[in-house]
Homo-oligomer: A and B are copies of this chain.
Amino acid sequence: MENTTDESPKLGKYDLIAELAKCFPQENASTVVGIGDDASVLDTDGDQTVVATKVFVEDIHFDLTYVPLKHLGYKVVTVAITDLLGMNAVPTQLTLNIAVSNRFDLKAVNELLEGIDACCETSHVDVVGLDLSTSRRDLIITVTAIGTCEPSRLVTRKGASENELICVSGDFAAAYAGLLLLEREKKVFEANPEAQPDFTGKDYLLRRQLKPEPRLDIIEALRREDILPTAMAAVPDGLAAAVMQICRASDKGCALFEEKLPMTELTFTTLKDLDIVHTVAALNGGDDYELMFTIKQADFEKIKNVENVSIIGYIKEKEAGYKIITGDNVSFDIQAQGFYKQ
């Protein structure tokens, strides 16, 4: 959900976080998972509490020239919840902090909250905290998602073993294609305010960009089919970042198959029309909010019962690096742009 690129790619965002994290020792017995995963995990006497906070700053994370406030509300909840899903946890509550300037009236705040409420309702999540403050100009939305997980079902990024299958939910690059269309029409509009945007037949791409759904169905299906992934990650920044997060944390390598990356025909043709290489968009486009997880080969039969899941590759030894294999059996290094550039 970041529209900008960092100009200092030497030390990537996640490397920098890992470096800065070193100054924070973990001392409390109740700290289960600290800095460096999708969410933080705390031990309570029974289930574990999983917490993730996301901050959304106007013109950095969203552009109100084409994002309706109601959709934005829905999306920020999806984004925050997805970090809990990336731990195999079930979201239960969230708290909100909204900083507004005098550019926004009560009606605008209400529209935003309606969208938040809509996603919370479909996700069975209670909004248990709401704070308002002032901003100088921009809208700043902070969502803290809180969830719960049985200790035996908690899955971190660490835990993938060689030959395990790499699975992903949903399809990829649609949200990125949607963003490109919205940005294109914004430019057209800026040049000619009389112009009407043309999104005929592109509804799916816009919906994926503007109002993504949290993949609660996957978390439920994994429980139903009694599949416990060995490692798991949310996919907010493209497949490359997610697979590298799992591989790094698990000290492994991977091979993905280009032909297995799930993508709709509409996404494929739209990207082609826009002169974008579709595999690059799936690997680095971002904003998909799908889930990636690794499973033992023994779970292969079970995973077939879970709808909307594709097996896109497998875990290899660390020395194999991070590879993507084309239909012609040519192997390329995965370039995790999202991983480094964010």
Interface stretch (choices A136-144, A194-202, A257-265)? A136-144
Contact A135 B42 (CB under 8 A): no
Contact B40 A129 (CB under 8 A): yes
Interface stretch (choices A45-53, A170-178, A185-193, A225-233)? A45-53
Determine the residue in chain B with the shortest Cβ distance to A109: B20
State which of B8, B114, B126 has its C-beta within 8 Å of the C-beta of A28: B126
Residue-wise interface mask of A (119-149) relative to B, using a CB-CB cutoff of 8 A (1 in contact, 0 not): 0100011111111111110101010101010
Contact B135 A24 (CB under 8 A): no
Residue A30 at the B interface, CB < 8 A? Answer: yes
Contact A102 B60 (CB under 8 A): no
Residues on the B chain within 8 Å of A31, using CB: 92-93, 126, 128
Instruction: Take A60-B136, A140-B55 as given contacts and tell me if A27 and B131 are in contact as well, using a CB distance cutoff of 8 Å.
Output: no
Contact B126 A26 (CB under 8 A): yes
How far does the Cβ of A21 sit from chain B's closest Cβ, in whole Å?
A: 6
Bound-state CA distance A41–B95 (Å) is 11
Determine the residue in chain B with the shortest Cβ distance to A17: B130
State which of B30, B92, B95 has its C-beta within 8 Å of the C-beta of A148: B30
Residues on the B chain within 8 Å of A113, using CB: 20, 23-24
Residue A16 at the B interface, CB < 8 A? Answer: yes
Contact B95 A40 (CB under 8 A): yes
Say how many copies of this protein the assembly contains.
2
Contact B55 A49 (CB under 8 A): no
Chain A contacts to B: CB under 8 angstroms: 2, 4, 6-8, 13, 16-17, 20-21, 23-28, 30-31, 33-35, 39-42, 44-47, 49, 51-55, 57, 59-61, 92-93, 95, 97, 99, 102, 106, 109-110, 113-114, 117, 120, 124-136, 138, 140, 142, 144, 146, 148, 342
Listed from nearest, the 6 A-B pairs whose CB atoms lie closest are A45-B46, A44-B44, A24-B127, A40-B128, A34-B128, A40-B129
A-B contact pairs, 5 of them (CB 8 A): A4-B134, A26-B128, A28-B125, A44-B47, A55-B97
11 new A-B pairs (CB below 8 Å) besides A28-B125, A53-B95, A97-B142?
Answer: A16-B106, A17-B131, A21-B127, A23-B113, A28-B124, A30-B93, A40-B146, A51-B144, A51-B146, A53-B53, A140-B140
